[in-house]
Chain A
Amino acid sequence: MTDPTGLAAAASGRDPRVGLRAALALRRLAETLEALQVANARAQGWSWQDIAEALEVSKQAVHKKYAHLRGE
């Protein structure tokens, strides 16, 4: 699975395993970047409301997910 050419070929095919694995990796990457940027926004004094609007989710959702961040 480490041959990029082989992988690219597989991904453009119809094997659900490959496509789903890519979706999982994307979700992990998105979650990681989101956590990093929410912490960054809080450190820069953004309110939960500001962050929620930027992420297009409810203030409650973002607060519940990240209330444990430093300074809370």
Chain B
Amino acid sequence: MFERFTRPAREVVSTARKAAGEGRPYGDRAIGTEHLLVGLVDGGIGGIAHDALRAAGVDTAVVTAGIARHPSTGQGLSAADADALRSVGIDLDAVLARVEESFGPGALDSAAREAGRGSRGRRRASRGLTPAARKSLELALREAIRLRHTYIGTEHLLLGILRGADGTGAAILTEAGVDLDVLRGDIERRLREAA
């Protein structure tokens, strides 16, 4: 799927990956739709999605504040978990060091992913993506096909997030006062103008 991504779309994913790791030094660092938003509003990457988001009043500060309001529900251990564990006398770094001594680097990472699955049917989730993010990428591909585009650009990624609507990314946009339908219309208008 990624081979059809434009360069800016790839940059969005790589920025999202970095954002997903921030504040979550332990365990699962799955990319969520909220992390894709971080890449999409990045001025350095630009593109139609960036312009449409900025026009809707969404910038990096809005997204960052939104992510802080939506603590991850995954099983991975965040820096906040490490703080909480310290409050009851557990040094998560020491636990991590012992585990990696026996099982090698990243052992807790993959264990966190296993712990998040089980009977909840996440078995086939793409590696490193939350179910909502994976769905948004599938929807991005579908949007590109619907628009008869042969590539997947930042605008398709954003349209995918908006179509999915159940991810944290869409929730952050709604909370910021963005009307998802209006934003979708604006993206399509910008696409027509660019054509």
Contact = CB atoms under 8 A, between A and B. Distances in A.
Interface residues of A, number: 28
> Chain A's interface: helix, strand, loop or mixed, by majority?
helix
A25 B81 CA distance: 5
Contacts, number: 83
B191 interface: no
> Chain B's interface: helix, strand, loop or mixed, by majority?
helix
Given A1-B80, A25-B81, A29-B92, A35 B115 contact: yes
A66 B123 CA distance: 11
Contact of B86 (A8, A34, A35): A8
Interface of A: 1-2, 4, 7-8, 10-11, 18, 21-22, 24-26, 28-29, 31-36, 39-40, 64-66, 68-69
Q: Which 5 A-B pairs have the closest CB atoms?
A: A11-B87, A36-B111, A25-B84, A35-B115, A25-B81
Interface of B: 27, 75-77, 79-88, 90, 92, 95, 99, 103, 107-108, 111-112, 114-115, 117-119, 123
